[in-house]
Copies of this chain bind each other. A is one copy, B any other.
C-alpha cells in the first residue's frame, strides 16, 4: 500500500488517510512500509484471494461501501468454509480514475466496518488508478483450528450433503436488479437484492466445521456447480433432493408459480452459504453447531459412488429433474 503508483502526492496522502487507520497494528505497520507481517498462527495459516471487477462481479453503480463489504465477505466466506478464522488481509485496489474522494471514502468506510465486524486487520496492499473498470483483489489470511483445513476432497460414500441458510436469494436479487422478474413486492425485493449485494458469510458456523465435516466449500458458483466441485474432488457423485433445498420465504413467494424459475435457483450463484459433507454419526455435532451459532442447516442429499463430480437432482419420487442454467453465471 505504501507504493502509490502513478498518483500525485495529494492522492497518496488521501489514500494514506483513508486506509492507514485500518492498519493500526503491529502487523500492518499503519501501511508505512511495503511489506506487512503475517499474524502468528502457530504454523496454521491459510490464505485466499478473490478478485472482483465492476460490471462483471458487481454493478458499477452499486454503493461503494457495499462493494467493499462484498469484497471482504466473499473472502471471509472462503475462509469460513475451510474452518478458518479470519485474521488479516491485503487490499489491491485499482480505482477507476473518475472515482472521486467521496466515493473512495465510502469504499474505505465499508471496508472499515466489515474488517471490524469480522475481526480482520489490514496488513498491506496496493492502490492504483485505472482507466478501466474498478478492479479489486482482497487476500485474506485465516487461522485454522487444530483439526486443520476442511478441504473439498474428504467426503466419503454415504456422507450426507448439507447446506446452511437458504439457496437462490442472491440470484433472484440480481435478476430483480436487472428488471428480469417483473413486479415483486417492495419488502421481498429489498431482502433479495440485499442478499445479492451484501453476502452474509457463515463465519461463526465455519469455525465449528472441522469438528464434523468431511469436506466443505462455500456456495459461490451455484449449488449444483459447487456440489459438483466437492463431489469431484472427493471422487464421488452427489444426489440432491430438490424438495429439501431450503428457500427463504421471500424466494418462495417469487418462485411459487414458476417451476422453471424454482429449479433455476439451484444454478444461481452468490449465495455464500456453506455446503458440506458429513458422516451419519455427525448429526448431533451438526445440530449443536447449528444451535450454538443460530445457523439453519439442512440436509439436502448425499454422496455416493459414481462418476466423480456428477450431480443429480431428484424429486420426491426419486425422479431425475433437469435443472436449467440461471442464464447469467456468476455475474
Whether a CB of chain B sits under 8 angstroms from the CB of A109 is no
Could you tell me which residues of chain A, from 25 to 40, have a CB within 8 Å of some CB in chain B? 29, 32-38, 40
Q: Which interface residue of A43, A132, A141, A218 has the most chain B CB atoms within 10 A?
A: A132
Contact present for B126 and A51 (CB under 8 Å): yes
Interface size on A, residues (CB 8 A): 67
CB distance from A139 to the nearest CB of B (A): 4
Residues of B contacting A2 with CB < 8 Å? 229
Query: Is A278 in the interface zone, CB < 8 Å from B?
Result: no
- Of the stretches A89-97, A158-166, A194-202, the one at the interface is A89-97
Interface string of A144-168 (1 = CB under 8 A from B): 0000010111000000000000000
CB pair A139–B142 under 8 Å, yes or no, is: no
Whether A3 sits at the interface, judged by CB under 8 Å, is yes
Contact (Cβ within 8 A) B125 A49: yes
CA gap between A42 and B36 in the complex, in Å: 16
A118, CB-defined interface residue at 8 Å? no
A81 interface residue per 8 A CB criterion = yes
Which B residues are CB-close (under 8 A) to A5?
51-52, 56-57, 330
Decide: B221 and A53 in contact? CB cutoff 8 A: no
Could you say which of B43, B142, B229 contacts A35, with CB atoms under 8 Å apart?
A: B142
A90 contact set on B, CB distance < 8 A: 47-49, 139
A179 within 8 A of partner (CB): no
A130 in contact with B135 (CB, 8 Å) = yes
Number of copies of this chain that the complex holds: 2
Cα distance A181–B129 in the bound complex, in angstroms: 27
Among B3, B43, B50, B91, point to the contact of A3 (Cβ < 8 A). B50
**Contacts A92-B137, A133-B132 known; A36 to B48 CB distance under 8 Å?**
yes
A123 beta carbon closer than 8 Å to chain B: yes
Chain B residues within an 8 Å CB radius of A153: 32-33
Structural contact, A3 and B47, CB atoms closer than 8 A: no
| Chain B residues with CB under 8 A of A229 | 2
Known: A38-B141, A56-B5. A33 touches B129 (CB 8 A): no
Contact residues, A61-104 vs B (CB, 8 A): 78-79, 81-82, 84, 90-94
- Alpha-carbon distance A320/B306, docked complex (angstroms): 78
Give min CB distance, A227 to chain B, whole Å.
Answer: 14
Which residues of chain B are near A129, meaning CB under 8 Å? Answer: 56
Q: List 5 A-B contacts (CB under 8 A).
A: A5-B52, A38-B41, A49-B124, A51-B94, A51-B137
Residues of chain A having any CB pair with chain B under 8 Å: 2-3, 5-6, 29, 32-38, 40-43, 45-53, 55-57, 78-79, 81-82, 84, 90-94, 123-133, 135, 137, 139, 141-142, 149, 151-153, 217-218, 220-221, 229, 233, 329-331
Known: A42-B43, A53-B132, A92-B139. 14 other contacts (CB 8 A): A5-B52, A32-B153, A34-B81, A35-B48, A37-B45, A37-B47, A37-B149, A38-B41, A38-B47, A43-B43, A49-B91, A53-B130, A53-B135, A92-B137
Task: Please list the 7 inter-chain residue pairs (A to B) with the smallest Cβ-Cβ separation, ordered nearest first.
Answer: A132-B132, A38-B45, A92-B137, A40-B43, A51-B92, A137-B137, A51-B126
